[in-house]
Amino acid sequence: MKYTVASFLFASLACTGALAQSAQKPMSSIPDSVTIKDYYNQNVYDPGDTKIGSIEDVLLDKDGRVAALIVGVGGFLGAGEKDVAAPFSAIKGKEKNGKWYLTMNATKDELKNASGFKYDRNTTKWVPDKQ
């Protein structure tokens, strides 16, 4: 039995390696880009440099492109916070005083009045918050 399991695992790994070899090759250089760390858990400011929220999640579409950003707005230490979805194009990143800085052309009140979302752990998806 031990040898059967070992043989199965070896065969599975061999097949996985063959599949990986037929996939895209690793990149030899990286295009000009930013990392997800430049967005995830970062504060978002309005054009007047007032903090309006923070990035709670980065959502990818099925092709691996950023589809939306979840912005947490309001509340104190997470209590009473509302999560809203913003298109990736609505949040601009730039460097300010040597730090990464995110801005959005919206006010905190506009975000508070936007449709809210909540994370459903059962489906592992963000769904409309029906409050």
* pLDDT band for position 14 (cuts 50, 70, 90): very low
* pLDDT band for position 77 (cuts 50, 70, 90): low
In a domain? residue 21? no
Cα gap 86→83, rounded to integer Å:
10
**Tokens 């009045």, residue located:** 113
In a domain? residue 7? no
Q: Which one-letter amino acid corresponds to residue 9?
A: L
| Structural domain range at position 48 | 36-128
Cα gap 81→131, rounded to integer Å:
13
SS3 at position 85: strand
Straight-line distance from the first to the last Cα atom of the chain, in angstroms, rounded to the nearest whole number? 55
In a domain? residue 111? yes
| Predicted model pTM | 0.74
**CATH code where residue 61 lies:** 2.30.30.240
Q: What is the dihedral of CA 60, 65, 106, 120, to 10 degrees?
A: -10
In a domain? residue 102? yes
pLDDT one-digit tens code per residue, 84-117: 999 999 999 988 888 888 999 999 999 999 999 9
Lowest average pLDDT, out of 71-75, 81-85, 93-97, goes to: 93-97
Q: What is the dihedral of CA 66, 70, 71, 74, to 10 degrees?
A: 180
In a domain? residue 28? no
* Angle at alpha carbon of residue 51, lines to 47 and 57, rounded to 5°: 105
Domain tally for the chain? 1
Cα gap 35→15, rounded to integer Å:
32
In a domain? residue 30? no
* Residue 5 pLDDT: 37
In a domain? residue 119? yes
pLDDT one-digit tens code per residue, 19-65: 444 468 898 888 888 788 888 899 999 999 999 999 999 999 999 99
When pLDDT is averaged across residues 68-75 and rounded to a whole number, the result is 92
What lies within 8 Å, CB to CB, of 56 at 6+ separation is 41, 70, 71, 72, 83
In a domain? residue 58? yes
